[in-house]
Amino acid sequence: MPHAKASFKNLVRELGAHGEQRDVLEDRLTKMVDKGQLVEYRNGQYVAASHSREYIIGRLSVHRDGYGFVIPLQKVADIAGDIFIPPAAVEQAMHGDRVLAHITYVGPDGKAEGTILKILNRAHQTVVGEFRVRRRGNWVKPNDDRLQQWIYIPEGMELPAAPRTEDRVGVKTIDVSSAEELDGMIVNVELLEFPADGEDGVGRVIEILGKPDDFGVDVEITIRKHHLPHRFPEEAIAQAKDVLLEIPASEIAKRKDFRDLPIVTIDGETARDFDDAVFVERLPNGNWRLDVHIADVSHYVRPGSAIDKEALFRGTSVYFPDRAVPMLPHELSTGICSLRPNEDRLVMSAELELDNAGDIVGQTFCRGVIRSAARMTYTAVAKILDGDEAERKTYEQLVPHFERMKELALILNRKRTKRGSIDFDLPESLIEFDKNGLMIGVSRAPRNIAHRIIEEFMLSANEAVAAHIAHANVPSLYRIHEVPDAKKVHDFEEIASQFGYTLAFGALPVKKFGMVDKKRDGRKVRRDIVMADERAAVTSRNYQKLIGKIEGKPEERILSYLMLRSLKQARYSHENQGHFALAADTYTHFTSPIRRYPDLMVHRVLGNLLDDAPAGWTEEQMEELGTDCSFTERRAGEAERDLVEWKKVQFMIDRVGEDFDAMIISVTKFGLFVELEQLFIEGLIPIDTLPGDRFKFHDNARRLVGERTRREYKIGEKVHVILDRVDAAAKSLQFGIWQAPQPGRKNKKARSRHDH
């Protein structure tokens, strides 16, 4: 087809489509437009998105200041980064909407500007926010400051049909009888009319969550802000309650019986669902036997059932600091599917034989039944391996098993290291609560040898299952991690060089090509573009070696974080493209079917192979599933991070005026981002508040430099800061450089988290 364009009639003629084939073609074109694979022009012609330089489909990200960016669903040739959308062009769309944008300008640096032509898919059917009573009516101000438009609530739509709010852990039920009583409360609103052509959006209140400062309301807001499904349909609940709590003898007879082995689960102290259990022994031939047993969720959740549909809709469990939004009803997730100690449970088992180099020399997959010997925690196992006498006595018969687990885990880790697998050891925040559930501090989440044991065993099982499925060449889901973009690698190299480090991958090849631009005044000009070839020569081993060099150094935290930012985000795909960070040719997710839908699907694929049954899903269905599961995973991650950051800000509200030790983690033209060393909390020092001089941003060096004093602020530098301001609405903290108090000035003494 000329210029990769064609109308529906052209395609019908070219393909010879008639009757039902025309309907199938039309349906397929519609799906491809929805996915962003095709762009439909106003004249009815279709063009492949990869061939269009004028129109792109993407997701709109709106900044709190009103402007936005369209993030293309697919890479757009000759354009660097996202497409800028001026504030005036954002009015009709909302943050998160999938849109068709027209590119109106491309600068010499490849940065593009555009306008929104069409909204393809609305991201928000509901909006959570604060109810406001005003002279000209009632409104809801969205909690998400990226949603610029307030929602008008017509008279008679202020109160939900059922004013009591249910299914909300730790939050009081709310009864109100008038709009005036709602003023200042947090509500959830169903959008009846979306903002368009300068008109306000219109909605009706469907839930009353409570006052902004009520205990637990922050979690409820986060759930609704990110549109997390959190109530199970009645049919799904009924199905879950009908599941047999005892395993029939006839089912056990079909399976391999592992109940006489000292199999254990190892999880965190607060875990409630246990979906993996392990066993290790030395074989007579000197090799290792590693059994990884995973809850057989696929036995209880049948394709197309009410529970399955809801699990697919959720995609994943979401974990907040004080509660979880599970993928499966608790009758399954913490009941019959959870590998609880001393209870018979059905599992999908991977029996691996490994040599002393950690290579798999034999493997078997089967359906099994186990009876966990103990519910172990990471802390308890670590104490046992560290020689704690009390713990070793408590679990006396299991101690040799844990020692073998440690030995095998270290072998597997050395094997991964040898092949170039990347191990980031970034600290994670642990929100601390008192007995009443109130936040009292933030600390570094602990990691020990027990975490390493489970991590290595799960990685091995996932890789083995992936290779088995790939060899069978049946449609499935893989967990892929693509090679990083050359530009991001270069950006990281520039920062690393300031610390005296490099990824040491050599120069990247470049490509040069010409492009015709249309200037804002309508003139056409030709420009040459030079871009790094995306087929970068960088490998995971380059990252791995650098991690080894910075280990234990003051700059380790910041460089590890920036290295992680330079990599692409892992995702689910029907195509096996390997896993860059793990240096694995084939990888999937098999080990957490209670909390991840892709794992449940992989269990079904593996089950079909065990039964010699035909593939139950097409490549196209798996492609769509991979896209959906990648989205729900990102949504859950954003919600989890959002709430943690919000709780950190809430924790700091009463600490304005206190001073802290911090590290500069980013330098921008508008200031310094710092992280408090003891609290893992971030905030901004605005450039105009830096004392003693007027500072300018030096882009090449990524530093702020004083015009008169030449004083520099750079990434990785330690600074002492004072908390100047907390913006609870924007969930942000503003710091200043701490200065010694002047005579007569009072400074509040900084307290440690243990003072609360």
Residue 724's identity, in one-letter code, is: D
Q: How many helices (H) and strands (E) does the chain have?
A: 18, 36
- Write out pLDDT tens, residues 590-631: 999 999 999 999 999 999 999 999 988 999 999 999 999 999
- 323-344 burial by CB neighbour count: b if 16+ within 10 A, else e? ebbbbbbebbbbbbbbbbbeee
pLDDT band at 55 (very low <50, low <70, confident <90, very high): confident
Give CA–CA dist 52/4, Å, rounded: 9
Domains and CATH numbers, the chain: 2-120 (2.40.50.140), 126-225 (2.40.50.700), 234-469 (no CATH), 483-567 (no CATH), 656-755 (2.40.50.140)
Percent of the chain with pLDDT over 70: 89
The whole-number pLDDT of residue 272 equals 86
- Write out pLDDT tens, residues 429-475: 788 888 777 788 887 788 899 999 999 999 999 999 999 999 999 99
Q: What is the dihedral of CA 612, 616, 620, 626, to 10 degrees?
A: -90
pLDDT of 170 higher than 50: no
Out of 144-153, 513-522, 577-586, which region has the weakest mean confidence (pLDDT)? 513-522
- Write out pLDDT tens, residues 463-492: 999 999 999 999 999 999 999 988 889 889
Give CA–CA dist 469/492, Å, rounded: 36
Q: What are phi and psi of 696, to 5 degrees?
A: -125, 150
Give CA–CA dist 337/593, Å, rounded: 9
Task: Indicate the pTM of the whole model.
Answer: 0.85
Contacts 24+ apart (CB under 8 A), 599-604: 599/294, 600/297, 600/298, 600/301, 600/311, 601/476, 601/477, 601/625, 602/465, 602/469, 602/476, 602/477, 603/294, 603/296, 603/297, 603/298, 603/348, 604/298, 604/303
